[in-house]
């Protein structure tokens, strides 16, 4: 993810969202060099025993790598007063590499998997994502995706709450024992051990995520996540509007009117500029009520968005090409947002599935949000 084998100085980086259910995680990152101290976008892969980084996502060979054997991880890292969501990987040779995530949930997923990779290597093994079904002996007839949908039902599912803890307010979350209670009451588990097995499967597959120190400790103890059947352990749905506000050494939440909507989706996309028509990586946050999508420079945090798109009444469609764009500059997975004021925005996702998910989410918000 940061240091090439021919370089001697550490790097600092910013992570953008990835698919964390793959054997090898790959995502866009912003990389800060040590000479010019500038931040650049690169592609990153978490392999079985190292973090690799690439100049482009189409490159076959990594530009550099960070070995994880004997490494340690610090999160949160508070070495930077003006940067939040930073964590640090220190190699066995005591070389520090700094990472900055684009949002809290993303950082926690990276921290969890890097810690698990380091733990496996300490035991003489290489890190690889095992099948959750095999590792916890999950029955073949259990469909975790369908179970997740039932859990999210607003009337009959697990109810999301506001929980005040340690001078912080956790929004859209629930306790570990509430999940087990629900699984038993709905006949999905016969007893608490069975319920714990199902909840652990949901946690390992990324449907549920830990919120707060207690649940995070359980999720990061070993090679597999551990779900806690406790009232002190907080969790949230992966695609919910979860956020934490109040005092935190690692984040400051400033709410404005157009930022009050629940977060529906967030991640990094390529965006075409309106003036120079060049393409740059931007972090996008989609909110549902009011219906806005804000975009940011991923190297500079979320205090000041570069712009916003009011989505009420907008149209979003997949496109095969973009006017004024050279073929070699951008190709594939393109889509267009046309606002009610007839302003056109051209974006590119990393994969076809990602483009499909963004289009679906934006279409839903544009119809239902204010």
Higher per-residue pLDDT: 240 or 181 = 181
Is residue 122 over pLDDT 80? Answer: yes
Per DSSP, the three-state class of 142 is coil
Name the percent of the chain lying above pLDDT 90.
18
pLDDT at 346: 92
pLDDT at 209: 84
Is residue 304 over pLDDT 80? Answer: no
pLDDT at 129: 56
Q: Which CATH number among 1.20.120.530, 2.30.40.10, 1.10.10.10, 1.10.150.120 corresponds to the domain 144-245?
A: 1.10.10.10
Is there a contact between 149 and 222 (Cβ–Cβ < 8 Å)?
no
Is residue 347 over pLDDT 90? Answer: yes
Residues of the chain with CATH 2.30.29.30: 26-123, 257-367
> Mind listing the pLDDT tens digit for each residue in 45-95?
888 888 888 776 667 788 888 899 899 998 877 776 666 677 888 899 888
Out of 56-60, 155-159, 335-339, 346-350, pick the least confident.
Answer: 56-60
Per DSSP, the three-state class of 156 is coil
> 76: which residues sit within 8 A by CB, 6+ positions away?
85, 86, 87, 249, 250
Entry pTM: 0.44
Distance CA 101, CA 159 (A): 29
Number of C-beta neighbours around residue 227 at 10 A: 26
> Mind listing the pLDDT tens digit for each residue in 228-237?
999 999 998 8
pLDDT at 211: 85
Mean pLDDT of 205-220: 80
> Mind listing the pLDDT tens digit for each residue in 237-288?
876 766 666 543 443 333 455 677 788 888 888 898 877 788 888 889 998 8
Q: Which value, in Å, is the radius of gyration of the alpha carbons in the chain?
A: 21
* Contacts by residues 83-92 (CB-CB < 8 Å, ≥ 24 positions apart): 83/301, 84/250, 84/251, 84/252, 84/301, 85/250, 85/251, 87/111, 89/1, 89/2, 89/51, 89/114, 91/3, 91/66, 91/67, 92/67
Is there a contact between 1 and 46 (Cβ–Cβ < 8 Å)?
yes
How large is the angle between the packed helices 192-204 and 176-185, nearest 10 degrees? 120
When the pLDDT of each residue in the chain is averaged and rounded to a whole number, the result is 76
Is residue 300 over pLDDT 80? Answer: no
pLDDT at 248: 39
Is residue 19 over pLDDT 60? Answer: no
Distance CA 93, CA 288 (A): 47
Is there a contact between 293 and 334 (Cβ–Cβ < 8 Å)?
no
Classify 26-123 by CATH class. Answer: mainly beta
What CATH number belongs to 257-367? 2.30.29.30
User: What is the C-alpha end-to-end distance of the chain, expressed in Å?
Assistant: 40
φ, ψ for residue 194, nearest 5 deg: -65, -40
Residues of the chain with CATH 1.10.10.10: 144-245
């Amino acid at each position: 993810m940061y240091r090439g084998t021919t370089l001697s100085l550490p790097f600092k980086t910013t992570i953008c969202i990835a698919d964390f259910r793959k054997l090898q995680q790959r995502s866009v990152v912003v990389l800060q060099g040590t000479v010019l101290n500038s931040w650049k976008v690169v592609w990153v892969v978490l392999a079985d025993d190292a973090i690799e980084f690439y100049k482009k996502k189409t490159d076959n060979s990594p530009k550099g790598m960070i070995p994880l054997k004997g490494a340690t991880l610090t999160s949160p890292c508070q070495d930077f007063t003006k940067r939040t969501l930073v964590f640090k990987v220190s190699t066995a040779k005591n070389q520090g590499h700094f990472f900055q995530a684009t949002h809290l949930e993303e950082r926690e997923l990276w921290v969890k998997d890097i810690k698990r990779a380091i733990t496996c290597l300490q035991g003489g093994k290489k890190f690889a994502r095992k099948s959750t079904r095999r590792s916890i002996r999950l029955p073949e007839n259990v469909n975790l995706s369908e179970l997740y949908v039932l859990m999210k039902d607003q009337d009959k599912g697990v109810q999301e709450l506001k929980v005040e803890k340690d001078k912080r307010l956790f929004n859209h979350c629930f306790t570990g024992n509430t999940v087990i209670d629900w699984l038993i009451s709905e006949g999905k588990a016969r007893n608490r051990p069975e319920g714990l097995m199902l909840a652990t499967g949901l946690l390992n597959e990324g449907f549920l995520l830990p919120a707060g120190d207690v649940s995070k400790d359980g999720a990061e103890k070993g090679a597999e996540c551990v779900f806690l059947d406790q009232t002190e352990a907080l969790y949230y749905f992966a695609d919910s509007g979860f956020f934490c506000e109040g005092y935190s050494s690692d984040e400051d939440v400033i709410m404005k009117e157009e930022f009050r909507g629940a977060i529906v989706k967030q991640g990094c996309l390529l965006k075409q500029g309106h003036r120079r028509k060049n393409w740059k990586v931007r972090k996008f946050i989609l909110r549902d009520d009011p219906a806005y999508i804000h975009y940011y420079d991923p190297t500079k945090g979320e205090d000041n968005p570069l712009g916003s798109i009011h989505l009420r009444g907008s149209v979003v469609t997949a496109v095969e090409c973009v006017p004024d764009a050279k073929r070699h500059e951008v190709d594939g997975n393109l889509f267009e947002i046309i606002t009610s004021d007839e302003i056109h925005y051209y974006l590119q996702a990393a994969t076809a599935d990602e483009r499909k998910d963004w289009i679906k989410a934006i279409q839903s918000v544009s119809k239902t949000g204010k």
